[in-house]
Amino acid sequence: MNEKHNYVDCDRCGHWQDDRRRKEVCEQCNNTRQTIDPKDILCNRCGGPQRPLGTHNEQYSHGLEDAEITGGYDSYHLFDMTTYKFSICEKCLREIFNQFAIKPTVIDRLGSTDGPADPWAEDQEMYEYRVWKDAGGHHQAYLNRKCNFVKDCPNRAEYTQLISNDFTESCCCEEHKGLWGYGNSKLTKFIPNVLKPFL
């Protein structure tokens, strides 16, 4: 608990004028203008970074950060009057959620409760799609002329998605074309990689 930390300049109040600095207290640095280096904030479970390092939000708390749990008189698995402090990163939270016998309640961004029948299953599916896409699966599927609207779709891509009339690598099969469709996006006949340079 008494580890030595490195400090960096506080981003949250870095742009404040002196006038504001006299009147307000920055909740991040308490007007010291220095804050713990986000690289020093670690997940207790995996030992990796707790924060999305290198992003604009690395000075904001992420995951279950600085959680505290204290046992009571009838506690058995924790000791009475003993406090346990820890942080768990978002990646570990995802893994722990997947081990839950009863999955977490998922409330969508708009706070709506009449979402999909199994909001956790859909959330997990979206997560797996994101990881697959970031690992290159989406791009590879496009090169192979496979639908990439869902992860590992075995079907041939028939359509390419255009956003504001610009080409994208998103492409889909007949079965999944209904999944897409927002404002400025539309589907056109599939545009293979070899034709892309001529667009």
Which spans of this chain sit near Zn ion (rule: CB under 5 A)? Answer: 10, 12-13, 26, 28-29, 43, 45-46, 89, 92, 147, 153, 155, 173, 176
Give me the least distance between CB of 12 and Zn ion, in Å please. Answer: 5
CB-wise, 11 or 120, nearer to Zn ion?
A: 11
Of 153 and 162, CB closest to Zn ion: 153
Q: How far is the CB of 73 from Zn ion (least distance, A)?
A: 32
In angstroms, give the least distance from the CB of 112 to Zn ion. Answer: 27
Judged by CB, which is closer to Zn ion: 153, or 187?
153
> Alpha-carbon dihedral of residues 55, 98, 146, 175, nearest 10 degrees?
-120
Q: How far is the CB of 59 from Zn ion (least distance, A)?
A: 9
Task: Quote the crossing angle between the two packed helices 90-99 and 119-134, to the nearest 10°.
Answer: 130
Minimum Å distance from CB 148 to Zn ion? 8
Q: Which is nearer to Zn ion, 29 or 123 (CB)?
A: 29
State the virtual CA torsion across 120, 131, 88, 51 in degrees, nearest 10.
Answer: -130
With CA atoms as reference, report the closest residue to 39 among 54, 56, 57, 28: 54
Distance CA 44, CA 53 (A): 17
Nearer to Zn ion, 44 or 71 (CB): 44
Task: Report whether 194 contacts 182 (CB < 8 A).
Answer: no
Rounded to whole angstroms, how far apart are CA atoms 85 and 46? 15
